[in-house]
Amino acid sequence: MALEVVKNSDEFKRFVTKAKEIKNYKEPIGFGIARVDRGQKNSEKILQATYPIINWNENFGSAAVFIASLNECGICVDFNKDEFVTDVTREFVLNTMNAFAPFLNEAVGEEHKNVQVIKHINELFATDTIGDKSYKVVFIFEDKAPKSVESVYLKLYALSTSKADLRSLNLNGAFGILENVAWSGNTPIELEWLRENEISLKLDAKYPEINSVDKFPRFLQHIIPASNTRILETSKVRMGAQLHSGTTVMPGASYINFNAGTTGPVMVEGRISSSAIVGSGSDVGGGASILGVLSGTDGNPISIGENTLLGANSVTGVPLGDGCIVDAGVTILEGTKVTISTEEFNKIKDANPNWDANDTDVFKGGVLADLNGVHFRQDSITGTIKAFRSTREVKLNEELH
Amino acid sequence: MALEVVKNSDEFKRFVTKAKEIKNYKEPIGFGIARVDRGQKNSEKILQATYPIINWNENFGSAAVFIASLNECGICVDFNKDEFVTDVTREFVLNTMNAFAPFLNEAVGEEHKNVQVIKHINELFATDTIGDKSYKVVFIFEDKAPKSVESVYLKLYALSTSKADLRSLNLNGAFGILENVAWSGNTPIELEWLRENEISLKLDAKYPEINSVDKFPRFLQHIIPASNTRILETSKVRMGAQLHSGTTVMPGASYINFNAGTTGPVMVEGRISSSAIVGSGSDVGGGASILGVLSGTDGNPISIGENTLLGANSVTGVPLGDGCIVDAGVTILEGTKVTISTEEFNKIKDANPNWDANDTDVFKGGVLADLNGVHFRQDSITGTIKAFRSTREVKLNEELH
Amino acid sequence: MALEVVKNSDEFKRFVTKAKEIKNYKEPIGFGIARVDRGQKNSEKILQATYPIINWNENFGSAAVFIASLNECGICVDFNKDEFVTDVTREFVLNTMNAFAPFLNEAVGEEHKNVQVIKHINELFATDTIGDKSYKVVFIFEDKAPKSVESVYLKLYALSTSKADLRSLNLNGAFGILENVAWSGNTPIELEWLRENEISLKLDAKYPEINSVDKFPRFLQHIIPASNTRILETSKVRMGAQLHSGTTVMPGASYINFNAGTTGPVMVEGRISSSAIVGSGSDVGGGASILGVLSGTDGNPISIGENTLLGANSVTGVPLGDGCIVDAGVTILEGTKVTISTEEFNKIKDANPNWDANDTDVFKGGVLADLNGVHFRQDSITGTIKAFRSTREVKLNEELH
């Protein structure tokens, strides 16, 4: 059995409406078609999922077509599960082509990317050039802990394409689902396969060039950044990071982990640890560390506001607002005692009218969290860590006044 | 029309003399022949220029040959312009071969490198193996802001081959001229082309391995370092950097930007920012930062003298002389207040007889700029940043005594 | 002449016993068969030795077979020398196959790896696919300064496979023996060859992608890590490093030099310099520096105990015991004056009953070397570097009580 060819876009609309009448039908949060890399030794193991395009809270018509096509193949999507993954078969592609018929010709360039994916796989099937490649259709219905390699990758894509906000997705257990593999270029290789073939690979001078051994791939293996975004070394940004347009990542001591990144143009020469977010116009100086939830912050993820400067080799363990400065070499942790004069306290208070604090000599770093316009310095005569009102502009939220 | 075959080196001398009689003739500051990489989508875009050899204030005879050959092809070099770039054509190569005729046989190894370039392109033309490669002949007549990708690269080569001094060239606007591209090995790829082909590349498992996304290539893509120079990771040195023989660049937190580098053997485990220069025998410790003109120094480029030690995770924002030490973890910026005892002041003064300063307790970092033999420490009892006469040898300039 | 085919394992035992009766026979400390890469320009130069398997104080029977096979070929191993290296010839392989005959069938998977190596080379010889590859059999009889590229690599393998302890091997002069080469993937290229071919390689668009210029290769070019070990960027770990199972090396400011590493699961985001060792359960924070013998420690290699935390951008120049903390941004060198209150002194003394020190206000960093359970902080009010008893658990050695 195959779906009938849909004749025009009106008929397509009716097709979609009808497709959604399947019992318990649910719009997916995210879906897409992925090419998967399988284990060299154990081909049942999925090592990586590569999405040419993902859908995230969008393109529900295409989702309905995919679900109806699966149904026609006798595969019932279980809408009670958090996610659903199944093989892309010739029959599925044929059905989907029929449903997408009105759009096949116009599916080029920026138009109908899901249709382009189906068209291309259809060509591969037709010409037998599909080789050992295999494809999966993947749906996420509830943002729960992922259960498959394919859904982990779909979420990482949602983060790295900025379709989902940082920290907004449930990635619990992702480390357990992903296999630790040797990456040779974009190809993941099972470590056990390498071990079993080490003797012949080495003697034959065919041992692969390994770039990393990790569960995660690198951002640039999957994501094309905006034209004004620069990443001077691919290892410095992990898949699942989010870099907004205009961000530059230098190759010195920098690193941006997954589920971390920037919200606008940011110069990154330091470390943005997992779950940390840096605001537009800010500067993470050479070797500067923003602590992450996996190390040293009691699980409170750190946000750095806009237009804030973290000096070279500074360490920031508390969230900062807009227009702050942490001087080069200065460390501010939750427990750091920071001395503020009454004059500077009043200026900082002016820049932060909602700050609920009384004047005192010494504040713990944690108490200063999220304030705007604070300049942290170490007095080079007395060694005292002090805070001042910074010279950086802070755009006050007018509604708060 | 073609140039006649030059018969011997005397005739060649006369040929060059005559060639320079062209009206308004001017010796170029730099020139060379480059292979250019063009856009995959927009072939009018030059993405990279690769020079097998560059000439910088040298080999004016070869320049005259190139200009005369162009002239013979009907292409007049405009000597009033700062730079001139044109295609290498079969006719140009034929003319140049004729003019270089006396040297064709002896142009091997270290001899007549410009002639070797012409000979090789001539062979490629002859055997039709030139494929889609294309070549340009490039002249710079005035060191003004570059106007083409080819002249930016010629200047970067002049810096990285040490034929021009660091900070000596006008690179204004270079960032605007270079295209931001995805680098796959030595090949630049237009981001827009990647976007247009993302679906098929990913589904076909042919998505390229991207090492970086940047306007600049890496030093090692174009430059062969001296035999005792080591660069443990290619991403750590940008094209346009200058590394003198014996320099070692470690792969931890190090980075050397363009128009920055070393003047002798230097151990580099930290960051040498754009425009910073480090002297022979010095040591940039692990994670040490030398601030650059693009970040935090008010545009005064920083030089570090010879035999100076920047400790691990130190930050230096002022120029230092010879034989200095900045202790591990210490930060010295222009505004840092540095305490010096009278005894140590006198010793530092002895090592810097021309230093125009009176004894006082506290000096701003900027006031201590360029001094020799200073040791910067933080007193671990009082937290005070102090300076002492270092134990490192300073070679005084005898003429100053 | 060839060795006779050994018929069974009993005969093999007698064969080995007899083989060891050669005059002056000596069991090798280490041995193995390596594929060697030779210079592109000077094929006499060995640029790299790749071992599919190494033997270190083990498999003495296989060593005896190799030595007897060489003897049969007329090659006498000189047991008075520290090491012995010779070509693997067809005749040698034939002899060895005959001696290993009882094990040829069962030599697969984890069984009889030396036999597998011989079998595979035998196949290559048989099918003429050996091309320009060449193989060496290598023995080390005394752990003296290495005299060949092959023996340097054998020792680096012994360290990186954890068959030899860190700091236990004599690597004096290794830097002088290894050639500085350009690494393109796993292939070493002579710099002089690159220079001689620069013009044609660049014009033909065949200039190789160079990853590094160094004497040493990278760990992942030769070693397959344990399945729960992660190295997020290959340049971060040099061949000759030792990483115990569960270690993770992040790609920010981290680096592990040769003859340095970990003794258990360690999170590495900082620098472990040459000869430094970090204990199980410890954490080397982002940008943290552990000084090495090549820079700043007077030649005393630094060990960090178990369960110790080096904060982000800290610098440690003295050995530390178990359960210590160096706060983010804090530097502890041998000469650093550390203030300890009487109360904290007593607590630290309790955790270190054998510590031979009297209570005083200020201790030099070097005096605190190797103590367990010490927390180093900088007082942010006074700038004083202080030590406290840490909150981290220290497992006391019961035998000392």
pLDDT digits (tens, 9 = 90+) for A102-115: 999 999 999 999 99
What is the tens place of the pLDDT at every residue in A297-349?
456 789 999 999 999 999 999 999 999 999 999 999 999 999 999 999 999 99
Would you say A229 and A236 are in contact if contact means Cβ atoms under 8 Å apart? no
- The pLDDT value recorded for residue B399 is 47
- The pLDDT value recorded for residue C360 is 87
| pLDDT tier for residue B297 given thresholds of 50, 70 and 90 | very low
Hey, which residues of A are catalytic here? 269
Residue in C220, C287, C380 nearest the CB of A287: C287
Distance of CA C128 to the CA centre of its chain: 34
Indicate if C154 and C270 belong to the same structural domain.
no
DSSP, collapsed to helix, strand or coil, labels residue C127 as: helix
Taking contacts as CB-CB distances below 8 angstroms, the residues of chain A near C52 are 198-200, 202-203
What is the tens place of the pLDDT at every residue in C241-276?
999 999 999 999 999 999 999 999 999 999 999 999
| pLDDT tier for residue B395 given thresholds of 50, 70 and 90 | low
Is the per-residue pLDDT at B296 higher than 90? Answer: no
B350 domain-assigned: yes
A1 domain-assigned: no
**B-proximal residues of C, 232-251, CB under 8 Å:** 235-236, 238
From C255, which residue of chain A is nearest by alpha-carbon distance? Answer: A253
Average pLDDT for residues B86-109, to the nearest whole number?
96
Q: How far apart are CA A3 and CA A5, in angstroms?
A: 7
* C174's tokens: 């290794």
Beta-carbon contacts of A350 under 8 Å, excluding residues fewer than 6 positions away, are A389
- State the average pLDDT for chain A: 94
| pLDDT tier for residue C296 given thresholds of 50, 70 and 90 | very low
DSSP, collapsed to helix, strand or coil, labels residue C315 as: strand
Is the per-residue pLDDT at A296 higher than 50? Answer: no
Average pLDDT for residues C38-52, to the nearest whole number?
97
Q: Which of A138, A154, A173 is the last residue of a domain?
A: A173
Taking contacts as CB-CB distances below 8 angstroms, the residues of chain A near B331 are 312-313, 327-330
- The pLDDT value recorded for residue B343 is 96
Q: How far apart are CA B33 and CA B115, in angstroms?
A: 11
Q: Which residues pair with C339 in a beta bridge?
A: C362, C386
Q: How far apart are CA B96 and CA B68, in angstroms?
A: 8
- The pLDDT value recorded for residue A69 is 97
What is the tens place of the pLDDT at every residue in A120-169?
999 999 987 887 789 999 999 999 999 999 999 999 999 999 999 999 99
From C250, which residue of chain B is nearest by alpha-carbon distance? Answer: B252
A2 domain-assigned: no
Q: Does C153 touch chain A (CB under 8 A)?
A: no
Is the per-residue pLDDT at C398 higher than 60? Answer: no
- Chain C neighbors (3+ CB pairs < 8 Å): A, B
Is the per-residue pLDDT at A401 higher than 50? Answer: no
| pLDDT tier for residue A359 given thresholds of 50, 70 and 90 | confident
Taking contacts as CB-CB distances below 8 angstroms, the residues of chain C near B267 are 295
User: Which candidate in A111, A313, A375 is best for mutational testing of the B interface (most B CBs within 10 A)?
Assistant: A313
Q: Does C49 touch chain A (CB under 8 A)?
A: no
Indicate if A132 and A263 belong to the same structural domain.
no
Is the per-residue pLDDT at B128 higher than 90? Answer: no
3-state percent breakdown (helix, strand, coil) of chain B, nearest 5: 25, 20, 50
| pLDDT tier for residue B300 given thresholds of 50, 70 and 90 | confident
From B210, which residue of chain A is nearest by alpha-carbon distance? Answer: A220
Inter-chain CB proximity B221 and C205 less than 8 Å:
no
What is the tens place of the pLDDT at every residue in B14-50?
999 999 999 999 999 999 999 999 999 999 999 999 9
Would you say C147 and C122 are in contact if contact means Cβ atoms under 8 Å apart? no
What is the tens place of the pLDDT at every residue in A215-257?
999 999 999 999 999 999 999 999 999 999 999 999 999 999 9
Would you say A254 and A235 are in contact if contact means Cβ atoms under 8 Å apart? no
* B244's tokens: 């003198």
What is the tens place of the pLDDT at every residue in B361-380?
999 999 999 999 999 999 99
Alpha helices in C111-262 (DSSP H): 113-127, 149-160, 174-177, 191-203
Q: Does A398 touch chain C (CB under 8 A)?
A: no
What is the tens place of the pLDDT at every residue in B306-363?
999 999 999 999 999 999 999 999 999 999 999 999 999 999 999 999 998 888 899 9
Chains A and C: how many Cβ contacts under 8 Å? 156
User: DSSP label at B84?
Assistant: E
- Indicate the number of domains in chain C: 3
For the range C111-115, what are the long-range contacts, defined as Cβ-Cβ under 8 Å and sequence gap of 24 or more?
Answer: C113/A199, C113/C52, C113/C53, C114/C32, C114/C33, C114/C53, C114/C55, C114/C59, C114/C62, C115/C62
Residue A46's domain is classified under what CATH number? 3.30.70.2010
Inter-chain CB proximity A382 and C383 less than 8 Å:
yes
Residue B197's domain is classified under what CATH number? 3.30.60.70
Q: What is the ipTM of this complex?
A: 0.96
What is the tens place of the pLDDT at every residue in B154-187?
999 999 999 999 999 999 999 999 999 999 999 9
| pLDDT tier for residue B401 given thresholds of 50, 70 and 90 | very low
Inter-chain CB proximity B382 and C385 less than 8 Å:
no
Average pLDDT for residues A203-214, to the nearest whole number?
98
Q: How far apart are CA A77 and CA A68, in angstroms?
A: 9
Indicate if A291 and A357 belong to the same structural domain.
yes
C3 domain-assigned: no
Indicate if C262 and C308 belong to the same structural domain.
yes
Indicate if C210 and C331 belong to the same structural domain.
no
| pLDDT tier for residue B294 given thresholds of 50, 70 and 90 | low
Would you say B284 and B302 are in contact if contact means Cβ atoms under 8 Å apart? no
Indicate if B148 and B21 belong to the same structural domain.
yes
| pLDDT tier for residue A400 given thresholds of 50, 70 and 90 | very low
Residue A380's domain is classified under what CATH number? 2.160.10.10
C387 domain-assigned: yes
User: Which candidate in B196, B213, B249, B290 is best for mutational testing of the A interface (most A CBs within 10 A)?
Assistant: B213
Is the per-residue pLDDT at C391 higher than 90? Answer: no
Q: Does C381 touch chain B (CB under 8 A)?
A: no
Residue in B199, B289, B385 nearest the CB of A380: B385
Inter-chain CB proximity B271 and A252 less than 8 Å:
yes
- Chain B neighbors (3+ CB pairs < 8 Å): A, C
Inter-chain CB proximity A271 and C283 less than 8 Å:
no
From C384, which residue of chain B is nearest by alpha-carbon distance? Answer: B381
Indicate if C253 and C331 belong to the same structural domain.
yes
Indicate if C76 and C192 belong to the same structural domain.
no
Taking contacts as CB-CB distances below 8 angstroms, the residues of chain A near B273 are 286
| pLDDT tier for residue A5 given thresholds of 50, 70 and 90 | very high
User: Which candidate in B108, B232, B377 is best for mutational testing of the C interface (most C CBs within 10 A)?
Assistant: B232
Query: Chain C: nearest CA to B127, how far in angstroms?
Result: 12
Indicate if A208 and A228 belong to the same structural domain.
no
Indicate if A208 and A248 belong to the same structural domain.
no
Inter-chain CB proximity A180 and C228 less than 8 Å:
yes
Distance of CA A91 to the CA centre of its chain: 33
In this structure, the strands spanning B309-310 and B325-326 are: parallel
B2 domain-assigned: no
Alpha helices in C75-231 (DSSP H): 90-99, 113-127, 149-160, 174-177, 191-203
User: DSSP label at A75?
Assistant: -
**B-proximal residues of A, 281-300, CB under 8 Å:** 283, 285-287
For residue C277, what are the domain limits? Answer: 219-400
* A280's tokens: 């537009």
Q: Does C337 touch chain B (CB under 8 A)?
A: yes
- The pLDDT value recorded for residue C297 is 47
* B257's tokens: 């930007």
User: Which candidate in A128, A161, A380 is best for mutational testing of the B interface (most B CBs within 10 A)?
Assistant: A380
C1 domain-assigned: no
Residue in A194, A253, A337 nearest the CB of C380: A337
Indicate if C250 and C393 belong to the same structural domain.
yes
Indicate if C202 and C282 belong to the same structural domain.
no
Is the per-residue pLDDT at C1 higher than 80? Answer: no
C289 domain-assigned: yes
- The pLDDT value recorded for residue C396 is 54
Would you say B234 and C212 are in contact if contact means Cβ atoms under 8 Å apart? yes
